[in-house]
Structure 1
Amino acid sequence: MSNTIQLAVRTLVEHVYSSGSIDSRFRSQSTMLEGTRIHQKIQLTYQESDQKEVYLRADFPVKDLIFSIDGRCDGLLFRNGEVIIDEIKSTSQHLEHLGDDGLSVHWAQAKMYAYIYAKDHQLQEIFVQLTYVQAESDEKRLLKKCFFIAELEGFVQEVVETYYPYAKLLHDHRKERNESSKQLVFPFDTYRSGQRKLAGSVYKTISEKKSLFVKAPTGIGKTISTLFPAVKAMGEGNLNRIFYLTAKTITRTTAEEAVGRMQSCGLCLKYVTITAKDKVCFKDETKCQKDYCEFADGYYDRINEAILDIAANENCMKREVIENYARKHTVCPFEFSIDLAYTADAVICDYNYIFDPRVSLKRLFEEQKKSTLLLIDEAHNLVDRGREMFSASLNKELFLQLKKEFKSVNKGIYDSASQINSWFISLKKNGGELNEFTLDQLDEELILLLNQFKEGAEIVLLKETFPNLLELYFQVNSFLKIVDLLDEHYVIFGEKNKNDITLKLFCIDPSKLLQKMGKGYRSKVFFSATLAPLSYYQDILGGQDEDYLLSIPSPFKEEQTDIFIKPLSTRYRDRERTKPAIVTMIHSLVQNRPGNYLTFFPSYQYLLAVYDEFIKQYPGTNTLLQGAGMSEEEREEFLKKFKPNQPETLIGFAVLGGVFSEGVDLKGDRLNGVVVVGVGLPQLCYERNLIKDHFTKKERNGYDYAYVFPGMNKVLQAGGRLIRSEEDHGTIVLVDDRFLQRQYQDLLPQEWRSFVVI
């Protein structure tokens, strides 16, 4: 491994000059949204001889390392014999708040560029100019200084030497990581059936910079089969970072265990797990304000020391470890985990940190993406999560409340909220008698009103905090970001609810945007036990024709599972009529085959109806009921009750597609049977019908895309809880007459097709 450290000027100075507090009380979005516009506007005023976006690069040796530092300065100006480096900064603050001298981090960035240019062109002196622009008013303020090459050289040397301990730590670790990756052997005595093929396919995908869609059965060890080849690719210099993306906490734990197993076999790899902010916050309320939270106050003054400390002493940076170091250094545990994500070799986190345009890790530069792999676990969940990430809604009620709140407080906000409330009233009238109705396009007047509201809210919020205004400001901002994404993959619709009305920008087909957000990464691997049919998931998750597809057959024998189909109707209109037969069947099953069972129902209401009837008929039976909105502790307690070799039968009643129907690993005698009631079809609704119509128009099977494929995925996931190893045996009962139809049977796994009708 070379001793050269590639580093962007901005990354370097932001690290060395980080200071201040986290304060999300109000941070104007204008800087981010309008920064490019302001840069371009200033650059248009440059003279013909001036240059813009000038690429500069230089090497700086410090001790045993060489820092290769590069970046683009905004402007290179030539005025009356002076050479000037211009750095443009847009800000939402009033310019007088910047003090007499601007910010030291901005001077540092410009001085780095000035030194590189002056050295390359053998200049003895060079001018540095900071051009500050107030985002709302476009007011300008210029700060200009002259520097001699000798003082710039001393400054640069000092900055790089300050960064050196951190760089040295990362450099030495990566050297050790790559060596240990090369030496690492598969951390189990043998490969399970299908594992070697999966691992080989992942390695080939990374080598060839492709994407891979994998359907691999439950229980073969997909996590280690994807992470192990990724680590081997690191040792070969093909990768520098792995993102292991999941939808559920339980699958994050599986990933941590897989990395831990490789570490126990000699792998030197640092990973960080990102846990949601509200789960790790140390305070009673998640208010990131310096005068409320000591972990936010002065965060940036302490963060470098905290990162150095944890990076020097820990390889497993999971939730508990991060919390310990966060308390030690008095830093916010959530923001700490985000900062660590840019330094770790592997990051275990939710999908949204990569795919959600409003949340994603923005500091991953294109160059870093080229050596980064995305492993997308339980990828079937990304379809609806993708729709959620790229959709947005606003409702009338919020603006009406704000109008009342600000009537005698602020005329500007009152007028703005009134106008938007009136717009919603017109929308409601235009919908006539319909509860839901689509719009051909988004009204330009609304976009104008929302932008005016946003600008007015920014002015008020910079001076004082109003919680309801702040919340609506962020909602409007989020909505306007999605407005920019609108295209033929969207449907705009109104939905009435009593006196209220909601306007929704609904992303029907997330494929294009998932593809866009995943662009630039070296490789992507989408995998799940239920990625069937593969062509559907490749289409809807933004795959391309040249992607690899892999379907691994189950390593488990057909005789490990007894499959029964009970052809009753579970359609909504028939549920009351067939309820007694389902209750009798469940009781008969556990009488004839005692053990631990999970029974899954397509809705909570249906679940309660059957459960109540079952308890009434068979009061002495040992049962468990999934509660609404269970906490993590309650879920764990529920699963702990499934013990091996229990003297009496246990029946767990749970929701199909809920927390217990996927990602749950009850090995051996902890689970002896699964009953799935219904074919899992999502409830008939306006949104699902919009999906159906959209794909029908695109000459796909719209009903399958909207209802059948998502529904059967839940069935397969629930049934997949049963057989987790070669030693497991058990019973699956599928309750619905539609399981005998060809359309549904074709989606059943091969090993489920030898069934008995009861």
Structure 2
Amino acid sequence: MCGDSNAASSGFSFTLRGKLGSEAHRKLQDQRNKTGGYRQEVHLNVPLVLADNGSEEWSVRVRGRLDGLIEEIDRTVVEEIKTVALSPSNFQSFSPLEYPRHKQQIEIYLHLLAIARPDANCVGNLIYVNLPDNRRRSFEIPYISEEIESQIAELIEDLVLRLNRREDEKEQKRQTAVDLKFPFPKLRPGQERIISELEDTLQTANDILIEAPTGLGKTVAVLYAALKYALSNDRRLLFLTSKTTQQDLVFNTTNLIRSDAPFPRTLWMRARHKMCLQEEQLCHPNECEHLVDFQRRVRRSKILEELLLKSAIHPDDLEAIGKEHTLCPHEMSLLLCQDMDLLIGDYNYAFDPSCRPSVLFGEGDPSEMIFITDEAHNLPERARGYYSAVLHWSKIEAAHEKLRGEGISRFDEVLAAIKSQFAYYLNEAPQQHDPYPIQFSDQHWLDIMREFEEAVVPYWYRIMSSDGSGEEDPVFNLQRDLEAFHRSLGYEGDNFVGLIRRRPEVVLENLCLDASPFLGENFAEAHASVCMSATLEPFDVSKQLLGLNEKAVALPLENPFPQENRHIAIDTTVTTLYRTREENIIPIAQRIEKFHQMVNRRTLAFFPSFELMNRVAEHISKADLLKQEAEMSDRQRSDLLKRFKQSDRGLLLCVMGGVFAEGVDLPGDQVEAAVVVGVGLPQVCTENELLRAYFDRLGCNGFGIAYLYPGMRRVIQSVGRIIRSEDDRGMILLLDSRYEREEYMKLIPRHWYNSSSSELFKENWEDSVNEFLLSYKD
């Protein structure tokens, strides 16, 4: 496929584009079959012996498959079929030189055929089919043996050199592993255990869950142990984390571990849209100069070879090279992947089925990889989103508006059918229940999808034929949503449920309640997996939600920092229970103010929701009170954090589970006190009730999985903002009567108290804070 500049810029589905190309390809082959002497899908398997400049000979075997082969009286014609989607004028004027890989492909086939059949007079026929109008253009490609042989030799030489380099590097990596030193003068007790356990689990190709308190140094310990094993055993690491700050930490920590050694070779993967050098992301050679003749220009420039001399490749390095040489930084990063010992990137590189690039895993084989998943407690919810899908009424209306006056009756029919489905579900759902569970008919939506595809193709062709612009098209937006919706419906199992939602807008949703079967398949493909977080207990639940085998090792670690450096108190005289929340708002505000006045230091106050936070804020009299807002840009968050750091006695209100609770690293000299309001339970809603019911049906603790465990993880993550090193000192006050309940007490971390969690419950927390302050040395 090629030539989809307008398809790319308008957002036309590449899935459907591929189907159309395959159909056009097949139709042309069927027509050619009626011609005498024509054979389609002809396989070639040819041995070659090539010599490099140093007279070293290589024996290689090259395989390929010809689209068509025609035996004529005086010559043999090799056909290669390509489909494009261009306006008539662009199709008439374009040249195959715009697609050098197509010409090179058929030239290689000609050479292989000439070797297999020396007496044949071979010539190439490169055929382009324009999808919008089904017009064809053919280009005769002559066979010039010396030129083609030189190209093949160059390609194979690059491949052989890469393979030889990898073999040579194996021994160097083994020696590097032997010489690798921990980058700090001494190991903390917890770090020693991590390294010891990882040595065993990686050797036996097992999985491991590591729960370690914030600040213990689990990242450097895991990296050190995993790198030693990987370099010794020809394995590679994929470090997965959704936080840019954590990706940066991993990159810098690896540099410390490596020291002056050439290995591990490390690449930090950044998302395509964040690396794009264009004002508008249009990923096609016709639209982006950084992709024109990309493969050949990269190979000839030897840029990759130069980059592979570096031990650590930062995204900024690739962007700078991309600007200098007019090359796509993200495509360069994909070409580098297979030569890396450590790849750093987002969860989606391993777990999102819509964008998981196989290039990360060598020849499509993840078994050489070791997955390291950071903040693994967040992965199950993130993965549920990968497999869920939503249809918006507003997008249907936008598509309908776009099509008014187009005169495509089939579109009117299919959009009416979609709207009819919405109307049916709205009629079935009681007004007072929003959202409401419904049952989708897979076959019905498959029919709708097919009808939409049949309608959208002539519309797309019309745009192509009239030099369609690159503006975003609501028709194609709806098409992609329908594809995702249909794909989601295709996953079988009772771990999916349909929903109709009225507010804030009408949508249909196929909600994934449990992504563990999919995650389990991903983890099982890897050599071994390391899942780490400060909040993974109960381990049996984490194993279940992550899809890990019951035999996976569970490693809980104690906090290594002196207990006398922190003071944690729980006040059970207030609560955030919804039925009594209103009467508790003022008492909560009073306790926050009192605590902040007593500690007289920078203080964070964490809330379970923005609604409660804003209600409490109305009753806090501090003039320079700082608050997190529900919608904040990166700049706004940075400015708010800067203002907080500039105030010696600032008070910042924020929400549990948000960026200030988990996504920002605040050293102990920047924040020394925190109030945690409530037990962090997610909001009671239809989705969470469905989650609860689903796991109850499985015989699990549905309330725990839907509410209790996520809530207490938010609490523990929030408390972890305070004590992050052996020198940090801090005070934490938790407010809610529910902490006295047994199910909550069981989840209080062991390192919060000496012998019993009951020590934390203070009849007069003010006195205990004063006692701690007396021992506080500035």
Query: Given the two structures, how large is their TM-score scaled by the length of structure 2?
Result: 0.81
| One-letter amino acid of the structure 2 residue matched with residue 258 of structure 1 | T
- Find the counterpart in structure 2 of residue 29 from structure 1: 15
Post-superposition CA distance 1:155-207 (Å, at most 9, x none): 52243346678778877777755543442211111111111221233343333
Q: Distance in 2 between matches of 1:95 and 1:284?
A: 24
Query: Which of 219, 236, 246 is 2:241 aligned to?
Result: 246
Query: Which of 338, 351, 373 is 1:376 aligned to?
Result: 373
Contact kept? 2:177, 2:227, Cα under 8 Å: yes
Deviation at 1:404, TM superposition (A): 2.0
| One-letter amino acid of the structure 1 residue matched with residue 496 of structure 2 | Y
Q: Distance in 1 between matches of 2:446 and 2:194?
A: 48
Deviation at 1:61, TM superposition (A): 5.5
Is 1:544 paired with 2:549? yes
Q: Distance in 1 between matches of 2:229 and 2:537?
A: 28
Post-superposition CA distance 1:115-153 (Å, at most 9, x none): 67987x796659789898999999999999997998865
Deviation at 1:418, TM superposition (A): 3.4
Contact kept? 1:85, 1:129, Cα under 8 Å: yes
- Find the counterpart in structure 2 of residue 589 from structure 1: 595
Report the 3-state secondary structure (helix = DSSP H, G, I; strand = E; otherwise coil) of the residue aligned with 2:436. strand
Question: 1:134 and 1:223, CA in 2 relative to 1: closer, same or farther beyond 3 A?
Answer: farther
Post-superposition CA distance 1:426-455 (Å, at most 9, x none): 332233544333233434222222233234
Contact kept? 1:307, 1:340, Cα under 8 Å: no
- Find the counterpart in structure 2 of residue 435 from structure 1: 434
Contact kept? 1:187, 1:262, Cα under 8 Å: yes
Q: Distance in 2 between matches of 1:578 and 1:288?
A: 55
Question: 1:401 and 1:640, CA in 2 relative to 1: closer, same or farther beyond 3 A?
Answer: closer
Question: 1:711 and 1:113, CA in 2 relative to 1: closer, same or farther beyond 3 A?
Answer: farther
- Find the counterpart in structure 1 of residue 776 from structure 2: none
Q: Distance in 1 between matches of 2:554 and 2:217?
A: 18
Report the 3-state secondary structure (helix = DSSP H, G, I; strand = E; otherwise coil) of the residue aligned with 1:757. coil
- Find the counterpart in structure 2 of residue 11 from structure 1: none
- Find the counterpart in structure 1 of residue 501 from structure 2: 495
| One-letter amino acid of the structure 2 residue matched with residue 716 of structure 1 | I
Question: 1:86 and 1:509, CA in 2 relative to 1: closer, same or farther beyond 3 A?
Answer: farther
- Find the counterpart in structure 1 of residue 762 from structure 2: 757
- Find the counterpart in structure 1 of residue 271 from structure 2: 276
Deviation at 1:527, TM superposition (A): 0.9
Query: Which residues of 2 match residues 232-631 of structure 1 at below 5 A?
Result: 232-239=228-235, 241-288=236-283, 294-295=289-290, 302-304=297-299, 305=301, 307-308=303-304, 311=307, 314-364=310-360, 365-366=362-363, 368-411=365-408, 412-433=410-431, 434-461=433-460, 463=464, 464-465=468-469, 467=472, 468-497=474-503, 501-567=506-572, 568-615=574-621, 618-619=622-623, 623-631=625-633
Deviation at 1:233, TM superposition (A): 2.5
Query: Which of 197, 202, 220 is 1:201 aligned to?
Result: 197
- Find the counterpart in structure 2 of residue 6 from structure 1: none
Q: Distance in 2 between matches of 1:439 and 1:66?
A: 66
Post-superposition CA distance 1:643-682 (Å, at most 9, x none): 59x8x52222111100011143333332222211111111
- Find the counterpart in structure 2 of residue 8 from structure 1: none
Q: Distance in 2 between matches of 1:515 and 1:85?
A: 49
Q: Distance in 1 between matches of 2:543 and 2:302?
A: 42
Post-superposition CA distance 1:465-497 (Å, at most 9, x none): 452223223222322332332433211222223
RMSD: 4.4
- Find the counterpart in structure 2 of residue 160 from structure 1: 156
Q: How many residues align?
A: 733
Question: 1:117 and 1:721, CA in 2 relative to 1: closer, same or farther beyond 3 A?
Answer: farther
Contact kept? 2:569, 2:761, Cα under 8 Å: yes
Deviation at 1:538, TM superposition (A): 0.8
Q: Distance in 2 between matches of 1:60 and 1:20?
A: 38
Q: Distance in 2 between matches of 1:553 and 1:43?
A: 67
Worse overlay, 162-171 or 270-279: 162-171
| One-letter amino acid of the structure 1 residue matched with residue 591 of structure 2 | M
Post-superposition CA distance 1:387-435 (Å, at most 9, x none): 1111111122211221122111251444433332233223322335443
Identity %: 26
Question: 1:528 and 1:484, CA in 2 relative to 1: closer, same or farther beyond 3 A?
Answer: same
Query: Which of 212, 215, 223 is 1:216 aligned to?
Result: 212
Deviation at 1:626, TM superposition (A): 1.8
Deviation at 1:266, TM superposition (A): 2.9
| One-letter amino acid of the structure 2 residue matched with residue 369 of structure 1 | P
Deviation at 1:35, TM superposition (A): 8.4
Report the 3-state secondary structure (helix = DSSP H, G, I; strand = E; otherwise coil) of the residue aligned with 1:676. strand
Q: Distance in 2 between matches of 1:267 and 1:18?
A: 42
- Find the counterpart in structure 1 of residue 678 from structure 2: 678
Deviation at 1:21, TM superposition (A): 12
Q: Distance in 2 between matches of 1:602 and 1:294?
A: 48
Q: Is the radius of gyration larger for structure 1 or structure 2?
A: 2
Tell me, which stretches of 5 or more residues in structure 1 are unaligned?
Answer: 1-13
Question: 1:335 and 1:150, CA in 2 relative to 1: closer, same or farther beyond 3 A?
Answer: closer
Report the 3-state secondary structure (helix = DSSP H, G, I; strand = E; otherwise coil) of the residue aligned with 1:384. helix
| One-letter amino acid of the structure 2 residue matched with residue 257 of structure 1 | N
Contact kept? 2:390, 2:510, Cα under 8 Å: yes
Post-superposition CA distance 1:530-586 (Å, at most 9, x none): 111111111111111332322222223433322211112111232221122222222
Q: Distance in 2 between matches of 1:327 and 1:152?
A: 32
Q: Distance in 1 between matches of 2:283 and 2:575?
A: 52
| One-letter amino acid of the structure 2 residue matched with residue 392 of structure 1 | A
Deviation at 1:216, TM superposition (A): 2.0
Deviation at 1:352, TM superposition (A): 1.1
Question: 1:70 and 1:180, CA in 2 relative to 1: closer, same or farther beyond 3 A?
Answer: farther
Q: Distance in 1 between matches of 2:555 and 2:46?
A: 45
Tell me, which stretches of 5 or more residues in structure 2 are unaligned?
Answer: 764-778
Contact kept? 2:516, 2:547, Cα under 8 Å: yes
| One-letter amino acid of the structure 2 residue matched with residue 446 of structure 1 | W
Contact kept? 1:665, 1:724, Cα under 8 Å: no
Q: Distance in 2 between matches of 1:299 and 1:269?
A: 27
Worse overlay, 352-361 or 23-32: 23-32
Report the 3-state secondary structure (helix = DSSP H, G, I; strand = E; otherwise coil) of the residue aligned with 2:480. helix
Higher relative helix content: 2
Deviation at 1:53, TM superposition (A): 7.6
- Find the counterpart in structure 2 of residue 741 from structure 1: 741
Report the 3-state secondary structure (helix = DSSP H, G, I; strand = E; otherwise coil) of the residue aligned with 1:218. coil
Contact kept? 2:371, 2:528, Cα under 8 Å: yes
